[in-house]
A and B are shown apart, each in its own frame.
Chain A
Amino acid sequence: MISTRSVVLPVAALAAILFFPNPSNSQEQKPTPDASGQAAPQGQEKPKAQEDPFAPQPAPPLPPGMMGSDVNDPRAKLKPGMYDAGEIAKGLRHVAFVKKPSAFQLQATSADDPSVQKMLGQMGVGTTELQKMPKTLQVVIAQLAFANSDFAFQGNHLFQGNFYGVNIYDISNPAKTSLLTSMVCPGGQGDVSVYGNLMFMSVEMPNGRIDCGSQGFPPEPAPEPGKEKERRLPVAQKDRFRGVRIFDISDIKSPKQVAAVQTCRGSHTHTLVVDPNDKENVYIYVSGTSFVRQPEELAGCSGEGPEKDPNTALFRIDVIKVPVAHPDQAGIVSHPRVFIDPRSGVINGLNNGGSHGKGEEKPRDTDQCHDITVYSAIGLAAGACSGNGLLLDVRDPVNPKRVDAVNDPNYSYWHSASFSNDGSKVVFTDEWGGGLGARCRANDPNKWGADAIFNLKDEKLSFANYYKLPAAQGDTENCVAHNGSLIPVPGRDIEVQAWYQGGVSIMDFTDPTHPQEIAYFDRGPIDPKMLVLGGDWSAYWYNGAIYGSEIARGLDVFELTPTDLLTQNEIDAAKAVQVKELNVQNQQKLEWPSKLVVAKAYVDQLERSKALPANEVASLRKAIRDAEKSHLKGKHLAKLSAMSSEVEASAASAKTAADASRLQALGAILKHPVA
């Protein structure tokens, strides 16, 4: 999330309806949003004097040759509401919703609570005005300052980052997810990772304090007459914190801060990196996207261009080394210049500003990474770095080296990345509009703000296709491609992904040129008349359930349900993969147990793709069923083993590589199934 355009935050929204000074100066003409909730049609702009700054702006017409999203999708028109919005799902069951904890909200969420009126009173809203205010607006209380952000998982614990701290939930029974700990520690965005007893958290904003205080820093007091230009308070603050915090979470109800590593640009996101050859340390890749602070506050920080200062804090990432036994000794060990031109040595070698002709979208330099996904099993990382997508060799984790870089004429801001499990594909996301804008409207091109799926071979990326949420969303719903994770269905590449107020979409990209949606969940907009920030920041699969981090509302839990595009066997096979920890940007290789449930998933897929004739599918299913009934004993086991060679042999004549792999994997399980 990076820009603040076309968005209204709820508290702001309600006050503003009452307050926006009408340029006509008529106090009686308080601007009221259009009753229809629709923006003015193209070419019929309202006269400026009556313009309502809170009304959403209409989407410009589709550029020639571009397609938009489907307005006839049932997700396109759901009932709005904060906690009572219309919901719709396909292939997913919404099993739990947990409201954002009160410690992370300004005040109560009921309009009748006196504290709501008190707060509004502090903002200057009088009793008369309050009576005119719709109740629904009064209860919409959330702000970017309290936005939920990314997830990490460990055992039965879910860690939900927030601009204001971290909330920790017990997910031992996902349908009964319950809050364990609200840890107040503001500074945004609160991107979070876990490793053993350690929890890491990103901080980038100037209100971040080393002591987790929520008071920020005092503003300059009013100047005395004649001394307006004098600055009396120091800007540099030794107690300010921007960087990566490290907590000991041995006591899950009372995390303790053990280290706080300061960086020049703070930490917008970070990535946990575990070197397979180094058990003593873990590493943190820090992506800073914000302003460089002054050297008086942190020595050595320079925000100059590379021409002026070769030691600029721009055009680099930061690497923190964390000794696992002594996390208090964590510190920065390198500042890799991942944008360098290796021939000339110029450190802004990927500066691509202006190469993307894209209408009204603002250009971006490549002087920062937004997020990096490391896949240590293949020694590579995919960097989503503002103006480019990068491929990094991370076999030496302290000194990542760029091996490839791509850009794309339809991409605005390279935001995040994930690998397919076999490392043959990378899915990048484009956070067009910064996540705060409505970018899934019928007139928003489906190649903009979309996933871009690349093939990866011999350390080279090549574009395959785009995938965007197929359902059109309203003009008060912030929506664009955002964070997702793989669902471990064997034999297929499936990603569950958050699209802010576009909801959750599950995409199959096994064939990268033909990505296909196979399941979804969506809610109506928070508000029908103005864009109120909300929706899913992240949607990740963890040990059998899908969790959605809803920015304004809280936490959602989903389960997959079978459809013609995903069978119960495939769901069960996905559930057979259990991990101890999940930090999505530290991607782990998925491995399936040699269980018959996994074999059944492959058989379903081979039936779906018609790689096996119906009679063979039937006899395989019967043999598997018999073996299960006999608890993998005797002649039934021998029968499976006998069938395995036949299955493996047919891999050679399979029409697609995906089917060939499925047949081989199926054969291997049939040969040596385990209980």
Chain B
Amino acid sequence: MAGALPYFGSTPYQAHAQKASGPAVVQPGAPGEPTKALPPDAHATLPPISRADVDFMQGMIMHHSQAVEMTALIKSHTENKDVRAIGAKISSSQADEIRMMQRWLAARGQAISMEKSGAREMPGMPDMDMSGSAMPPMPGMLTREQMKALEKARGAEFDRLFLSGMIQHHGGALVMVKDLFSSAGAGQDAEIFDFATDVDNSQRAEIKIMQKLLEELH
């Protein structure tokens, strides 16, 4: 299958008569349609992983890395307790998630970053971008200028730039999740499904908290 990652496919099921004694292995049809018997020795199969899944994970590692970079400034740039608290949460959960995404990619023979995605030739991945060119930044990521301004700011100005920047940054993550689930054949892997769902739920909540903090600053 063009563009598909290696997966553990086996031959499609064929209907066979069940032995009367053994357990039945069956697969229902759509509502109103008959249920078909599967061979007693049938094994499970998975839908293919899509290019959009790999792009999402590689892109989200880059995206999360910037969030971790932003939170690393907090200690030296502000004394605001609320900003420090939300920053600590973001830092710890996103660092943890970066590891999870690296494992997901590594376990599927994929490069862990976009820059390296052309560096390894994986079976079943003939269509990877081999150009090695820098990938475009992910949605919501702060521009170089924004990052510079954040690094320069201190105190209340830092708080304002950090919160508005992180709201923008998190908003981008929601866009990435939406894009993932809006890509044909994506998000069908159980791990990526759960992870993307979790990103959506938790970053929505964090945006609300940061919006409240930002209002309180004004």
Contact = CB atoms under 8 A, between A and B. Distances in A.
Say whether A and B bind each other.
yes
Interface of A: 1-9, 11-13, 15-16, 19-21, 53-54, 57, 101-108, 115, 119, 122-124, 143-147, 163-164, 178-185, 188, 205-207, 210-222, 231, 233-235, 246-247, 253-260, 289-291, 293-294, 303, 328, 351, 353-354, 357, 359-365, 367-368, 386-387, 434, 436
Interface in B1-38: 1-4, 6-9, 18, 23-35, 37-38
B111 A103 contact: no
B29 A12 contact: no
A6 B96 contact: yes
A219 B28 contact: no
Nearest to B49: A219
A632 B27 CA distance: 54
Contacts of B93: 5, 360-362
Contacts of B89: 359-363
B6 A122 contact: yes
Interface residues of B, number: 90
Contacts of A7: 100
Which of A164, A179, A206, A258 has most B Cβ within 10 Å?
Answer: A206
B100 A4 contact: yes
Contacts of A365: 201, 204-205, 208
B184 A104 contact: no
A137 to B, nearest CB: 12
Given A234-B184, A294-B182, A180 B24 contact: yes
Contacts of B102: 20, 53
B50 interface: yes
Interface in B55-101: 85-86, 88-89, 92-93, 96-97, 99-100
A23 to B, nearest CB: 9
Contacts of A253: 18, 24, 26
A4 B194 contact: yes
B52 A3 contact: no
A222 B193 contact: no
A372 B132 CA distance: 50
5 contacts: A12-B104, A19-B106, A53-B106, A215-B47, A253-B26
B201 A2 contact: yes
B85 A357 contact: yes
B16 to A, nearest CB: 13
Interface of B: 1-4, 6-9, 18, 23-35, 37-38, 41-52, 85-86, 88-89, 92-93, 96-97, 99-100, 102-104, 106-109, 111-112, 116, 120, 122-124, 126-127, 177-178, 181-191, 193-198, 200-202, 204-206, 208-209, 212
Q: Which 6 A-B pairs have the closest CB atoms?
A: A216-B47, A219-B50, A219-B185, A12-B107, A222-B127, A233-B184
Given A218-B185, A362-B202, A354 B35 contact: no
B4 A219 contact: yes
A434 B193 CA distance: 13
B106 to A, nearest CB: 4
A19 B29 contact: no
A294 B1 CA distance: 27
A19 B31 CA distance: 43
Contact of A104 (B29, B35, B44, B209): B44
Given A255-B35, A259-B31, A214 B45 contact: yes
Which of B27, B42, B183 has most A Cβ within 10 Å?
Answer: B27
A228 to B, nearest CB: 9
Contacts of A215: 45, 47
Given A15-B108, A205-B190, A211-B29, A351 B208 contact: yes
Given A104-B44, A183-B26, 11 more contacts: A3-B195, A21-B120, A102-B42, A105-B43, A184-B25, A205-B190, A216-B48, A220-B3, A255-B28, A289-B201, A354-B209
B23 A182 contact: yes
B193 A293 contact: no
Given A180-B23, A362-B202, A4 B187 contact: no
A182 B24 contact: yes
B197 A289 contact: yes
Given A4-B198, A184-B38, A234-B184, A122 B33 contact: no
Contacts of B45: 106, 214-215
A247 to B, nearest CB: 7
B28 A362 contact: no
A211 B31 CA distance: 8
B128 to A, nearest CB: 9
B107 A13 contact: yes
Contacts of B206: 353, 362-363
A180 B21 CA distance: 9
A342 B191 CA distance: 38
Contacts of B186: 206, 219
B35 A254 contact: yes
A441 to B, nearest CB: 15
Contacts of A436: 194
Given A21-B111, A207-B188, A362-B89, A122 B38 contact: no
Contacts of B181: 206, 235, 291, 293
B28 A185 contact: yes
Nearest to B30: A211
Contacts of B104: 12
Contact of B194 (A11, A144, A254, A257): A144
